[in-house]
Chain A
Amino acid sequence: MSEQLTTVDGRPLKAALASAERTKRIRAVLLVMPLFIFIFFSFLYPIALMLYRSVENPLIAQHMPETVAVLENWDGKDIPGEEAFAALAKDLVAARETREIGKVATRLNFETPGLRSVITGSARSAGKWEPPYKEKFLDRRKEWGELATWATIKRLSPTITSVNYLAAVDRQFNVDGEVVMVGEDYRIYVDLFMRTMWMSVVVTVSCLILGFPIAYMLASLPLRHSNLLMILVLLPFWTSLLVRTTSWIVLLQTQGVLNDLMVWVGIIDNAQRIQLIFNAQGTVIAMTQILLPFMVLPLYSVMKTIPPSYLRAAESLGAHRFLAFWRIYVPNTLPGVGAGCLLVFILAIGYYITPALVGGQDGQMISNMIAFHMQKSLNWGLAAALGGILLVGVIMLYWLYNKLVGIDRLKLG
């Protein structure tokens, strides 16, 4: 006969413990909830919304309903008949009245350049026309006699579309509905993604090469001295990004400090000042300096934990100083190397401000294109698609970081 353990008030101890456990868990979750809800609504949901923007396409279906309905049964082999033109006339006139015609025209124009004026011009005239319409449309703009025009409208009819993602990888539908590369002179995004990756790799490797020796020095000097040197790492870390970017302009421009110095020393002639900034190499230099502290700090914190006795032991066992360093010390720093590299790489591929200010013609990165489509060309769908692709890349790296380093081991300062 086993007697159940109970608490003072007679409840089974197991249940009491479980309920206490549950209360504690609920309390912990409740503490986290306010921030989680905040982050959910002002960060996670907005990003989901942005991703939705990259596939949603309500304009054509909404403002050209008649045409869309008629084109549903269109086989795409010949120019559609009078029925389609009549529907088109009705839609265009209605859209012009509600002043939505420009949005429709712009959306179609992103897909097939030149359609904007075809749509707005025809809409202006269509109000005055009587049936039959086909002739009049064809007279007004020859584009109405081209399959591509109708194919574009039909393709953009669905309210969910993949055209933005296709455009983001330099692809489009041809007249027959097949996915093809855009013309060679118009390809840009694939190269840009590649270049963004490449520049990020270069920045990461440069940071590692420059960061490793000084992290080692910081870790092995006595604290008194290393704290002083640490300030040299932390000061840039705490200084405004715009200040640091400005400094690089001051230093590297053709009339800048570095060129002045080289002319003064006599390395180059006054007439042959070197273009050091407003190109990819200037961007890489500036970004390396800006991101270097993000490499040094994790390296330092790992190196700090490696006992110096390891090296001494290896040396006393007869290993050459360099060999001991390479075989014993370096492998021990790998967690720091991984953390630093991933952190720098993740930050670098999303960089916007520095390339925008010092990138010039070939130092632009994908973020600059996202901003361009957000702010200048107003092709928000494409901007969202480019952002979506970049985001997937970053999330994969983030996952990798968490796997290798553990996100809760992230340290600052």
Chain B
Amino acid sequence: MSQISLPDHAGPIETVWHYLYIFICCLVFLFLIAPILVIIPLSFNSEPYFTFTKEMLSLKPEAFSLRWYQDFMNKDIWQASIGNSFFIAFCSTILATTLGTIAALGLSRSEMPMKGLFMGLLISPMIVPLVITAAGIFFFYATVNDYVPLTGTYLGVILAHTVLGTPFVVITVTATLSGFDHSLTRAGAMLGADPTTVFFKIIMPLILPGVISGALFAFVTSFDEVVVVLFVASVEQQTIPRQMWAGIRESISPTILAVATILICISIVLLATVELLRRRSERLRGMSPG
């Protein structure tokens, strides 16, 4: 039942308008996706430029090479930044998911007082401009460093990324819980299960898709984050985005394009995961798939 298809009685103006509309939509989709796809072939450029050479356009094999991927694999700094990115993102995701899920359980209870205010405060890190968050955290770390060293440490970056990641977990888990049938927990409790058992046996399996997709958001947020890293990390905590940032500002080499291509592949995998989870979640909650 599509409104897009042209009705049989359409006049010439409507026909033109209809095709124009489809054309416009195609252009917008192109605008969205082309910039991302265009760098993939360029990352196989054998020349150190950002432009398609004539040889590339005529598909000569010698115009393509894996040299920028080799460059990426061989440079210690890139290797270290991959390790750092995964380590920081992994730790902050665990923290953000734990804290966020517990808070979402509380927030979604009907007895929770001042729900709106708490919700607003808890997801404010998502709304406040990153540069302000980064500046605030920078000043804060500078004052508490005598007690806990945070500036230029892994702990500092992980905590900051946890702050940025929790809103996503809170939002996705609260959303999953909005369709949650609370009589299930009561049923569990009546059957003699203690709260921990109820949580792990009943609540957890049902909200798991929300938790995982929140965790993925938190992971990507940390994995892609550069402003906070610029402000509070030292070179020891060099991450992939930080390295790309330096690369774009200093010397534009196609190595960045190779890294970008790899990151695009990672995001495609993540995207597929989230999509699968969403379908599963909706199936579990008895909604129609899609």
Contacts and interface: CB of A to CB of B under 8 A. Distances in A.
Contacts of A374: 135, 138, 231
Interface in A231-246: 231-236, 238-246
A325 to B, nearest CB: 10
Given A25-B111, A257-B38, A394 B244 contact: no
Contacts of B51: 255-257, 260
Interface string A324-367: 00000000000000000000001001111100010000000001
A292 B50 CA distance: 25
Interface residues of A, number: 93
B149 interface: no
Given A31-B105, A39-B121, A220-B2, A235 B163 contact: no
Contacts of B129: 349-352, 367, 390-391, 394
A238 B35 CA distance: 14
Interface in A13-33: 21, 24-25, 27-33
A218 B24 CA distance: 14
A160 interface: no
Interface string A237-270: 0111111111111110101110010000000000
A89 to B, nearest CB: 33
Contacts of A370: 131-132, 135
Contact of B175 (A241, A249, A308, A411): A411
Given A407-B116, A410-B171, A47 B52 contact: no
Contacts of A45: 140
Contact of B290 (A30, A223, A243, A256): A223
A34 interface: yes
Contacts of A234: 271, 275
A346 B123 CA distance: 14
Given A236-B32, A402-B116, A31 B133 contact: no
A362 to B, nearest CB: 18
Interface in A356-394: 357, 367, 370-371, 374-375, 380, 383-384, 387, 390-391, 394
A371 B123 CA distance: 24
A217 B125 contact: no
Contact of A47 (B106, B133, B248): B133
A57 to B, nearest CB: 15
Interface string B129-151: 11111011111100100000000
Interface string B32-52: 111110110010000001111
B53 to A, nearest CB: 10
Contact of A394 (B42, B52, B127, B172): B127
A245 B249 CA distance: 12
Contact of B271 (A235, A249, A380): A235
B133 A239 contact: no
Interface centre among A32, A38, A311, A370 (most CB of B within 10 A): A32
Contacts of B120: 398, 402, 407
B248 A238 contact: no
A413 B122 contact: no
Query: Closest 7 CB pairs between A and B?
Result: A350-B129, A31-B106, A46-B140, A35-B103, A46-B136, A247-B35, A32-B106
Interface of B: 1-4, 14, 21, 24-25, 28-29, 31-36, 38-39, 42, 49-52, 99-100, 102-103, 105-107, 109, 111-113, 115-116, 118-125, 127-133, 135-140, 143, 159-160, 162-163, 166, 168, 170-172, 174-175, 213, 217, 220, 223-224, 226-227, 230-231, 241, 244-245, 248-249, 252, 256-257, 260, 263-264, 267-268, 270-271, 274-275, 278, 290
